Structure 1
């Protein structure tokens, strides 16, 4: 596990470089096009959430390897590692991600964690950084069945990391609809803009990470057809990283968290 953590730690700096360059390009694009895709306070809040995740990252990553590595010792089958099984593991991980993501919208307690990501009112690359601090300790639990079957925990974690990196570039308005590629196989910025919409027709749609095929299979795919209204159904929530992460969970245990019209009805934090 220690060697895997070192490899992941060295790779992350290359990822950070690419992420930073992409963000700078998006800022330049928005300024030249005079498009208001950024809110200064919200972006600062997003960065605050991101910094918190990075501080907790060594612990959360070690936790993933520990939990899934321990479960791996009880596996039912010995699945060899080769090109075919790596590809199969990728699809299995995408399937697991789809259902984890979908349940994070449909189960009130899980939504208190995922709400962090959806409470952003703007769609830009900093929005991708708005991930709940506690969510990283819950997500590995959804992949336990696949590890028990015999799929490699290390490959699953690697696929999740690649998926997270891919999804970073979906959080933008700079890339428009991709024509015949929309809704076929891969997820796109257009499809993910829909996912972040609070429009009635966009709510609880397009859960895929890299792939969109499971949304097609399970009937949750929705193309981008009208201007997206970003954020949660109650509007502005908060730009305070602590409130963004913890207030929904606190309100849940107070009994102030309700589900209405096939959507979690959020509390009013104003």
Structure 2
């Protein structure tokens, strides 16, 4: 197994790009960076690196154990790497989607969305507690198919490197063909938005085609300013609170909830409550559509098109 970590090699490039973007922000968009927010993001990155060193070996050992049950010996050819990269990105889409739709997963992933600023340092806000969610299980099928765990780890590293550059407001749009296939800063700004229109959209890592295929794509609009962060903002730069606040919230909800609802606070979507005192992203979007005539019209047109496709088998 090759001793190769693409993310470690990319660190100097990450630092250089952050510095370049800071210069751009100082000249063009000073509100893009906030010193305390940036320091929190850097601390997140350092902590997630340490957490990865402590737990990554265990996951790799589990994958190597599972590899003995593989169906095929795919090997290390160039086409195997290409296919593994695409399938790894598909697995990332689904673990990312679960990270927004299941609160247990969200408690770990919320760290990445906790900044109200959107810049390259935001990309460093990686979880310290990802091992608790067991999200690695989404990639076990790749091992069982026959992709070597080392190959999967390398592909995942390149996937993470790709996602770094899309955390910026310095790039407005890429060429149309690129926007159609690949994840871009425009698409990912939507993912980090708290606007009702944009909530829980664009889960892609590298290829935006997954969102287009599975019905979770939303294009960025130039007539709607994006608000970044989470629905209930942290209101603090305290690193420990930023890392663990959702886990603490889950513990409190489970403790207070009637027995028949306790498990739901772990497995239902973020914002769900047994007494209806909070709102999920779907409920927030539904309320926004009901209040907005323009949004209501767009939603109605979308439903009409979907119904027409279902009835005729082709767009009308």
Structure with more contact order per residue of length (Cα contacts < 8 Å, sep ≥ 6)? 1
| Pairwise CA distance, 1:12 | 4.4
Structure 1 consecutive aligned stretches of length 4 or more whose deviation exceeds 6 Å? none
Q: Tell me what 1:154 maps to.
A: 150
Q: Deviations over 1:5-62 (max 9, x none)?
A: xx32xx5453111001100000000111143101111111111111112223322331
8 Å CA contact 2:196, 2:281 repeated in 1: no
So what's the TM-score if we normalise by structure 2?
Answer: 0.77
More helix by share: 2
The residue matched to 1:52 in structure 2 has which SS?
Answer: helix
- Write the deviation string for residues 197-236 of structure 1: whole angstroms up to 9, x where unpaired: 0001111111111111101100111111021110001124
1-structure distance, mates of 2:162, 2:15: 14
Query: For structure 2, which runs of at least 5 residues remain unmatched after alignment?
Result: 255-264, 266-270, 273-278, 285-316
Aligned match of 1:55: 50
Residue 36 of structure 1 aligns to a residue in which SS?
helix
1:135 and 1:201 map into 2 onto residues whose CA distance is 28
TM-score, normalisation: structure 1: 0.89
2:232 counterpart of 1:239: no
> 1:220: which partner in 2?
216
Instruction: Report the 3-state secondary structure (helix = DSSP H, G, I; strand = E; otherwise coil) of the residue aligned with 1:93.
Output: helix
Q: Highest CA radius of gyration, 1 or 2?
A: 2
* Offset from partner CA, 1:169-209 (integer Å, 9 cap, x none): 11110111124135411100010000000001111111111
* Mapped contact 1:106–1:264 kept (Cα < 8 A): no
Partner residue, 1:230? 228
Give the RMSD, CA atoms, in angstroms: 2.0
Residue equivalent to 2:304: none
Q: How many residues align?
A: 260
